[in-house]
Amino acid sequence: MERVTYEPPDSVVVDRIQRAFPGDELRERARATNLIQRQRKFDVVALFYTLAFGFGAGSQRSIQAFFERYVEMADLTELCYSSFYEWFSPGFVALLREILDDAIEDLDPGRNQLRGRLEHFRDVLIRDATFISLYNDAADVYSLREDVAGAKLHLTQSLSTGLPTDWRTTDGSTHENSQMPTGEWASGALVLFDLGFYDFWLFDWIDGHDGWFVSRVKSNANFEIIEQLQTRRGNSIALEGKRLQDVIDDLQRKEIDVDIKLSFDRKRGSCRSTTRAFRMVGLRDTTEDEYHLFLTNLAEEEYSAPDIAQLYRARWEVELLFKELKSRFGLDEINTTDPYLIEALILIAAISLMMSRVIVDELQKLDAQQRESADDAAASSTRIPRGRGSTIVERHSHLIHLYVMLDLGYDLPDLDALLLWASRNPNPHRPRLYERVESGEFWPEFA
């Protein structure tokens, strides 16, 4: 049967994808292992794109689903599942990790979109962690508690790009603070934390590396107030020299803005303690009749107490990212007990996220170009938010994947052969229902 060759129209999206993840570099990385030599029928580039685009609407994120997509796109109906499964080895997982690390480092759209309250910062970084549900049989490697399995994903998200700048996976019992990145990552940036990272040593470290932070305050915190930064008229309660818990229930003011004193170990595990002064602000929630309190090293002259609360609201972006990873990229639950497959599926989800962001970024550029040349005011006001763009990419991922494969030189698959392959019973020796009815043994208990 004559093969069908189709030349797709030029696509700036396809070109951007291949510039972000160059095929030559992917093959060169694979040559550093024995992956290519061991399975010559595999094209590591085709396999990579199959995994990266395996998040289409309605798709299952499983090795079986990836196998079927790979056979479809690479037109390899003679490939068996066991050969495909063998590729998910420690070496291949290491390759995925290298690809992800490079993507995190390199895939920066290059446009700092921070404005208003945020333009003072190099970036706004949001640190958080989330649990990934696993089968309990995986507890030997990914333990959450006794006989219960779970993995924990630790990441830092850049607000300016929407991308992770750091990505780590541990067992579910690992504390968030033990996975903090090192180096100068916080320099010039504002870092937002929830209470999982409530650590005075960490706040001091960020301040010492020319960064800024905003963190919530624990409900039982009892700091010594050393200076009141707002002048109050009338018979307001004097706060200097008081402990927070001694006065917090008696305060009625809308805002709290004070300097407080912290004592902590300068180095973790050492007996040498130090004292630092940081700023604490609070806004009264009249509905709940309580204060929302925040610690920060941002100056009062530049950021008021309401400003600090507004800055902290940006932390919600990481919650949206986790929701996207779980609902769109399959990290809500991983249905395997193989530790290498668990790690591979987590890495594939991260790579799929990066791929989606690359495409959305290119769509935003295209939209901006069209708006610049449009005379119609309505057309000029069109925008592509990340969330909607990501949904559209998910919906059309199968088509995008096909365009990429055609651009790589693959032909359209033999449709008849593909459908025949997909339709065949993988368990041909298992008797069908009507065959059991015709000649199977009669079991009275099921009558």
At residue 84, φ and ψ (nearest 5 deg) are -65, -45
Q: Tens digits of per-residue pLDDT, 268-286? A: 666 678 899 999 999 999 8
Q: What are phi and psi of 8, to 5 degrees?
A: -75, 155
User: What's the number of domains the chain is made of?
Assistant: 1
Beta bridge partners of 295: 215, 280
Residue 275 one-letter amino acid: T
Q: How far is CA 400 from the centre of its chain?
A: 22
Helix axes 339-373, 316-327, angle to 10 degrees: 110
Main-chain dihedrals φ then ψ at residue 335, nearest 5 degrees: -100, 60
DSSP-derived 3-state class of residue 241? coil
Does 393 reside within a domain? Answer: yes
pLDDT digits (tens, 9 = 90+) for 182-198: 888 999 999 999 998 99
Q: Which pLDDT score, from 0 to 100, does residue 370 have?
A: 82
Which residues, given as ranges, of the chain have pLDDT below 50? 1, 109, 234, 380
Contact assessment for residue 298 and residue 192, using Cβ atoms and an 8 Å cutoff: no
Rounded to 5 degrees, what are φ and ψ at 424? -70, 145
Is 22 part of a structural domain of the chain? yes
Residue 193 domain-assigned?
Answer: no
Q: What is the pLDDT of residue 429?
A: 64
CA 261 and chain centroid, separation: 35
Percentages (nearest 5) of helix, strand, coil residues in the chain: 45, 20, 40
As to burial, measured by CB atoms within 10 angstroms (0-12 exposed, 13-18 middle, 19+ buried), residue 162 is buried
CB-based burial, 19-34: b 16+ in 10 Å, e otherwise? ebbebeebeebbeebe
In a domain, 292, yes or no: no
> From the CA atom positions of the chain, what is the Rg in Å?
27
| Amino acid letter for position 287 | T
Domain-located, residue 352 = yes
**% of the chain at pLDDT higher than 70:** 84
In whole angstroms, what is the distance from residue 36 CA to residue 82 CA? 17
Q: How far apart (Å, rounded) are the C-alpha atoms in residues 212 and 296?
A: 7
- CB-based contacts of 338, cutoff 8 Å, min separation 6: 88
Spatial distance between the Cα atoms of 230 and 168, rounded to a whole number of angstroms: 42
Instruction: Please tell me the distance from the alpha carbon of residue 155 to that of residue 107, in angstroms, as a whole number.
Output: 16
191 occurs within a structural domain = no
**Token pair 């504002």 in the structure block, residue:** 190
CB atoms closer than 10 angstroms to residue 153: 23
Answer whether residue 238 is part of any domain. no
Alpha-carbon distance 407 to 15, whole Å? Answer: 9
Give the separation between CA 359 and CA 161, rounded to whole angstroms.
13
Residue 384, amino acid: I
> What pLDDT does 269 receive?
60
Query: CA-CA distance, 105 to 146, in Å (whole number)?
Result: 37
Measured distance CA(214)–CA(206) in Å, rounded: 11
Determine phi and psi for 434, rounding to 5 degrees. Answer: -70, -25
Q: How far apart are CA 422 and CA 293, in angstroms?
A: 58
**Are 125 and 191 spatial neighbours (Cβ–Cβ below 8 Å)?**
yes
Tell me if 54 is assigned to some domain: yes
Decide the pairing of beta strands 255-265 and 224-228: antiparallel
- According to DSSP, residue 220 is labeled T
Containing domain of residue 345, as a range? 12-107+338-423
H or E, element range at 264: strand 255-265
